[in-house]
Amino acid sequence: MRLAIVSPCYNEQEVLRESAERLTELLRTLIQKQKISSDSYILYVNDGSKDDTWKMIKSLCSTSHHIKGISLVDNVGHQCAIMAGMMTVKKECDAVITIDCDLQDDLNAIEEMIDRYKDGNDVVYGVKISRKADSLAKRSMAVCFYKLQSHLGVKAVYNHADFRLLSNRALSYLSLYQERNLYLRGIIPFMGCKSATVNDVLSKRVGGHSKYTLKKMLTLATDGITSFSARPLHFVFGLGVFFLFITLFIFVYVLFSLSTHHIVPGWTSLMLSVWFIGSMVLLSIGIVGEYIGKIYIEVKQRPLYHIEEFLNGEESEEKGWKK
C-alpha cells in the first residue's frame, strides 16, 4: 500500500524541521513493519507562506526521497491547501492521510488508521479524545459549534478536525465536489463512504503559534453551517407562519377590546396593520429564502450518488460517477 501524507504549512518555519524528522521516522518504521510500501511519501503544501517555509521544504526534498512539496501562489487557507495536496496525490497513492504540520495530532494514530483502511474502510477519522492542549476559550467555542451544527442537521463527526485517512476511492469521489466554500469536515461524511474512527490525543504545537485567526475560525464555522444546512432559511419561513397565527389572535383580541373597552382612535388599525404586515414581510422573505436554498443546492452541483462497485463481466471495477 502506497501512503501519501499531506501536510499544509502556512508560515511554519519554526516547526517544519521537527515535523519532517518525525514524519519521516514514522514512515520508515511503517515501511519496516511492511504496513506501507517503500515509495510512500510526505507532501508538504506551502500555502503562500511569507517566511522561509518554502525554502525549507525545498531543502528537505533534496535530502530525503520520502519528502515532496508543492507551493501555492497565494494563501488560500487550510481547507483549500489540504484539497490542493489531496488532488495532487490522488493518482499517486492508495491512501492519503492529512495532518497539520505543527504535529498537534497523535502520530501513533496513523498506524491504526492504516489498519482500519486495510479492514476495508474508505475513510478513517481521527477523533480528538482530549483537547487539553487547546485553550479553554477554543475548546468551549468548538463544543458550542459542534452542538449547533448537529441541531441544524449537518452530518459531521464530533470532535474531528482534518486529521483523517482517505482511500484512493474516497479521493476520486471527493474530486467530484467542485464547491468554492470548502468545508471538508462536512463533505467527507456527506459522501457516505464506509468509515471508522481512531482516537487522537491533541498535544501542544511543537513550535510557532496558531495560524487560525479568529476571523479564519469564524469563516470556517460559517461555511460549516451554511454549506450544509438550509435550516436557517426554513426558520425564517417558519417564523413568518408563526407570526401569521399570532396575528389571528391579535385580530380576535382587538375586536374584543373594540366591543368592551374605550379605545383610542386609530389603535385598532395600527395594531392590525403592524402585525399583519410584519408577518407578511417575514413570510415573503421566508418564501424567497426557500427558493434561494434550492438554487444554492443546485449551483453546488454535488454528485447525486457514488457507485461503489461496478460488475462488468468477470472484472469488478470501482468508480465514482457524476450525473
CB 130 within 8 A of CB 148: no
Q: Which is nearer to ligand UDP, 10 or 243 (CB)?
A: 10
Among 102, 105, 112, 122, binds Mg ion (CB under 5 A): 102
CB 27 within 8 A of CB 66: yes
Q: Which is nearer to ligand UDP, 12 or 112 (CB)?
A: 12
Which cell goes with 186? 462536512
Q: In what order do the strands lie in the sheet with 3-9?
A: 67-72, 41-47, 3-9, 95-98, 160-167, 123-130, 195-201
The footprint of ligand UDP on this chain (CB under 6 A) covers a number of residues equal to 16
What contacts 233, CB < 8 A, 6 or more positions away? 286, 289, 290, 292, 293
- Alpha-helical runs (H) found in 152-230: 168-174, 184-191, 214-226
Cα–Cα distance list, 132 to 129, 136, 218 (Å): 9, 8, 21
**Spatial distance between the Cα atoms of 105 and 248, rounded to a whole number of angstroms:** 57
> Which range of residues in 96-104, 120-128, 175-183, 301-309 is near ligand UDP by CB under 6 A?
96-104
Q: Which is nearer to Mg ion, 102 or 200 (CB)?
A: 102
Among 20, 97, 102, 182, binds ligand UDP (CB under 6 A): 102
DSSP 127: E
Residue 53 interacts with Mg ion (CB under 5 A): yes or no: no
> Which range of residues in 87-95, 187-195, 204-212, 313-321 is near ligand UDP by CB under 6 A?
204-212
Bridge partners of 316? Answer: 311
The amino acid present at 125, given as its one-letter code, is: Y
Among 9, 157, 188, 225, binds ligand UDP (CB under 6 A): 9
The residue with its CB nearest to ligand UDP is 210
> Which range of residues in 3-11, 111-119, 184-192, 261-269 is near ligand UDP by CB under 6 A?
3-11
Residue 78 interacts with ligand UDP (CB under 6 A): yes or no: yes
Cα–Cα distance list, 39 to 93, 117, 224 (Å): 9, 18, 35
Q: What are phi and psi of 42, to 5 degrees?
A: -110, 135
Among 69, 77, 85, 126, binds ligand UDP (CB under 6 A): 77
Residue 85 interacts with ligand UDP (CB under 6 A): yes or no: no
Among 40, 49, 98, 104, binds Mg ion (CB under 5 A): 104
Residue 56 interacts with ligand UDP (CB under 6 A): yes or no: no
> Which range of residues in 42-50, 96-104, 170-178, 282-290 is near Mg ion by CB under 5 A?
96-104
Among 4, 16, 47, 66, binds ligand UDP (CB under 6 A): 47
**Spatial distance between the Cα atoms of 294 and 305, rounded to a whole number of angstroms:** 18
Residue 7 interacts with Mg ion (CB under 5 A): yes or no: no
Residue ranges that bind ligand UDP, judged by CB under 6 A: 8-10, 12, 47, 75, 77-78, 81, 100-102, 104, 210-212
